């Protein structure tokens, strides 16, 4: 890939690595990659221990956005608590394609590296806390110690939990939590900087 002088050849080679089950979860973002992926470049960032693949995507207004795909060989053997609640297609993506796929902050608009995943309680810095006041769903609240943060920003998050129905996730858009199909939730977050629901920053 790095040897090709053609941006489209590099883009096609990179997308060929993506597992089909993961792509099926995110149809809207997959369409963006098919139609608006300008280039994929091998890059070395100071905050990563290994080179990454940087996906350059053209936004609807012509601006360029970059997602950083981390080297899957950096994922390590130790997974965070509750990682088994992450859908198998996403686990395969993290282990075989990219050990994290986000914008430059390492946590937004994609899938965070497992090494950076944490529970909602840990994210708050309150590991003993297990309740919230804003839960309005009929389904019982899993508890902030049982929600694993996969991606988000200060005002929006996407969680999985072993206590949710299979194939489900929890979205948080301040101040509301909602149970949604996992793929729908992830697709929303990955499309945010392209003009979707607010919460992620573009670069």
How confident is residue 127, by pLDDT bands cut at 50, 70 and 90? low
pLDDT tens track for 72-121: 999 988 999 999 999 999 999 999 999 999 998 889 999 999 999 999 99
For residue 201, the model assigns a pLDDT of: 43
pLDDT tens track for 36-84: 999 999 999 999 999 999 999 999 888 999 999 999 999 988 999 999 9
Q: Which of 160, 175, 176, 185 is nearest to 26 (CA)?
A: 185
Distances (CA, A) of 78 to 36, 70, 118, 121: 35, 17, 13, 20
Helix (H, G, I), strand (E, B) or coil at 103: coil
Kindly tell me if the per-residue pLDDT of 200 is higher than 90. Answer: no
CA dist 72 and 26 (Å) reads 20
- Residue pair 47/106 in contact (Cβ under 8 Å)? The answer is yes
Mind giving me the DSSP string for 132-198? Answer: -S----SSPP--GGG-EEEEE-SSEEEEE-TTSPTTEEEEEETTEEEEEEHHHHHHHHHHGGGTSSS
- Model-level pTM? 0.90
């Amino acid at each position: 890939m790095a040897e090709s002088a053609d941006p489209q050849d590099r883009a096609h080679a990179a997308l060929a690595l993506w597992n089909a089950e993961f792509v099926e979860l995110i149809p809207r973002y997959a369409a963006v990659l098919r139609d608006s992926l300008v280039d994929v470049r091998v890059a070395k960032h100071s905050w990563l221990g290994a080179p990454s693949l940087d996906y350059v995507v053209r936004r609807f207004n012509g601006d360029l956005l970059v997602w950083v795909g981390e080297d899957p060989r950096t994922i390590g053997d130790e997974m965070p608590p509750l990682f088994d609640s992450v859908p198998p297609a996403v686990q395969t993506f993290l282990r075989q394609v990219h050990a994290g796929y986000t914008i430059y902050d390492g946590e937004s608009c994609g899938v965070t590296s497992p090494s950076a995943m944490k529970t909602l309680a840990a994210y708050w810095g309150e590991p003993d806390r297990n309740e919230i006041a804003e839960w309005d769903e009929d389904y019982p609240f899993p508890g902030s110690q049982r929600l694993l943060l996969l991606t988000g920003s200060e005002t929006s998050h996407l969680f999985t939990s072993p206590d949710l129905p299979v194939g489900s996730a929890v979205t948080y858009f301040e101040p509301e939590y909602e149970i949604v199909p996992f793929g729908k939730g992830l697709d929303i977050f990955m499309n945010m900087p392209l003009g979707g629901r607010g919460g992620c920053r573009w670069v």
